[in-house]
DNA sequence: CAAGTTTGAGAACGGTCGTTCTTGACCGGG
DNA sequence: CCCGGTCAAGAACGACCGTTCTCAAACTTG
């Protein structure tokens, strides 16, 4: 009974994730979301409860649909070189772990629920590196940090190391 | 002539840098700054012109007093292992490159002047790695990304790799 | 001591923030 | 067919945003 919903909830969450990834949490207003998602204000609050609720949903989706699949794919990479190459290629193809990165810097420290989600994403990357690169768990975290750091440089738009440089680094590490 | 200033400008900029590093640019209100710095609203605008002006001054000071000295110290490190150990130790001792990291993620993409300052900091780190670790310039950027990624994990408060793990990684790389 | 100038104190500005409310359009079940 | 409930549309809310203004206090200079 009642009038049926006129918007796709999953698509709305996806659009919200993109906005949050680019402009950050505080930099994205509810007006921006209403405009960008094409969803009415009231519906947004009816479905997600608050701006923070929508942010958590977007981050959750970002993990499930982008970060965890990327981590799963990286697990199957043949050695560290292939892993780094694949990771860099994923970064070039889109925002990749952009929302994860933004959440880690902007919100993880002050919002425990965001911190838990970010921790989940980072742990998945650690695990992927450990499996694919054959490194002990202790060094996998350092390599995962490398992946994140590369993503950060790419995001800042300042021209980080080239893919060739990453490959050369991978050969050096083994 | 005129009434003398009742606050230390350099100390105010330092306090502002800490606030911006922890809460981000958009997450820090002018009221927060007025309270945290103990400087009156009017004086703040008289001296720095705007919130953004104060932010740029804080970032500039962060570079001059923390990032560039850290980079200079890292240049003198004996090999990659010593460099990574020193970098990790610096991270434990305080906010270290916290504002640089925050600025890179939150503002560098949308504010060209911030982008230039962030680029200056990253370039200094690249240069330090290149000198100390003896790696070619191409791979130095990747290692600098590792340093930043480690800092990011520490900042998120999620317990990144231990210093021992970083040392083990350094031995592996050479 | 008086004139002149800059600071500190705080009220006030218009605008935007996240959130809520009111109203009318819509659609399924009896 | 119309009634009950869910939706979209948008005005409206108080709070807070960054910024500006007024005015008295405090100090230097002649």
Contact between residue A135 and residue A84 where contact means Cβ atoms under 8 Å apart: no
Mind listing the pLDDT tens digit for each residue in A103-147? 999 999 999 999 999 999 999 999 998 998 888 877 888 888 888
Residues of B in contact with A87 (CB under 8 A): none
Spatial distance between the Cα atoms of A49 and A98, rounded to a whole number of angstroms: 24
A-contacting residues of B 136-155, CB under 8 Å?
136, 138-139, 141-150, 152-153, 155
Structure-block tokens of residue A31: 């007006």
Q: Which residue's CA is nearest to the C1' of nucleotide C17?
A: A29
The mean pLDDT of chain A is: 89
> CB atoms < 10 A from the CB of A60, how many?
15
Weakest mean pLDDT among A32-46, A68-82, A147-161, B95-109: A147-161
Q: pTM score, two decimals?
A: 0.93
The per-residue pLDDT for A144 is 87
Phi/psi at B109 (5° precision): -75, -25
Spatial distance between the Cα atoms of A146 and A171, rounded to a whole number of angstroms: 15
Which among A19, A70, A16 has a CA at the least distance from the CA of A44?
A: A16
> What is chain B's Cα-based Rg?
18
A-contacting residues of B 52-81, CB under 8 Å?
none
Residue of B nearest to A135 (CA): B169
Which among A113, A115, A83, A118 has a CA at the least distance from the CA of A98?
A: A118
CA of B95 to C1' of D7 (A): 49
Structure-block tokens of residue A159: 């021209």
Residue of B nearest to A29 (CA): B26
Rounded to 5°, the CA angle A14-A18-A22 comes to 165
B58 pLDDT band (50/70/90 cuts)? very high
Locate the DSSP E strands across A15-127: none
Q: Which residue's CA is nearest to the C1' of nucleotide D22?
A: B42
Q: Determine whether the distance from the CB of B23 to the nearest atom of strand D is below 7 Å.
A: no
Q: Determine whether the distance from the CB of B26 to the nearest atom of strand C is below 7 Å.
A: no
DSSP assignments along chain B, one per residue:
--PPP-S-HHHHHHHHHHHHHHH-STTS-HHHHHHHHT--HHHHHHHHSSHHHHHHHHHHHHIIIIIHHHHHHHHT-SHHHHHHHHHHHHHHTS-TTHHHHHHHHHTTTT-HHHHHHHHHHHHHHHHHHHHHH---HHHHHHHHHHHHHHHHHHHTTS----HHHHHHHHHHH-
Residue of A nearest to B103 (CA): A156
Whether chain B has a CB inside 8 Å of the CB on A105: the answer is yes
> Residue B7: is its pLDDT beyond 70?
yes
- DSSP summary character for residue A67: I
User: A4 vs chain B: nearest CA distance in angstroms?
Assistant: 38
């Amino acid at each position: 009974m009642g009038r049926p919903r006129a918007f796709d909830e999953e698509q709305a969450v996806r659009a919200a994730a993109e906005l949050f990834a680019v402009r950050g949490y505080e930099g994205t207003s509810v007006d921006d979301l209403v405009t960008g998602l094409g969803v009415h204000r009231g519906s947004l609050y009816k479905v997600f409860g608050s701006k923070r609720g929508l942010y958590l949903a977007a981050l959750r989706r970002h993990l499930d649909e982008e970060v965890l699949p990327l981590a799963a794919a990286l697990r199957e990479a043949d050695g560290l070189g292939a892993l780094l190459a694949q990771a860099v290629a994923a970064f070039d193809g889109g925002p990749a772990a952009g929302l994860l990165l933004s959440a880690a810097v902007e919100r993880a420290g002050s919002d425990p629920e965001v911190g838990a989600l970010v921790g989940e994403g980072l742990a998945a990357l650690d695990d992927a590196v450990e499996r694919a690169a054959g490194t002990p768990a202790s060094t996998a975290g350092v390599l995962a940090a490398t992946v994140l750091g590369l993503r950060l440089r790419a995001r800042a738009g300042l021209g980080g190391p080239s893919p060739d440089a990453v490959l050369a680094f991978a050969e050096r590490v083994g």
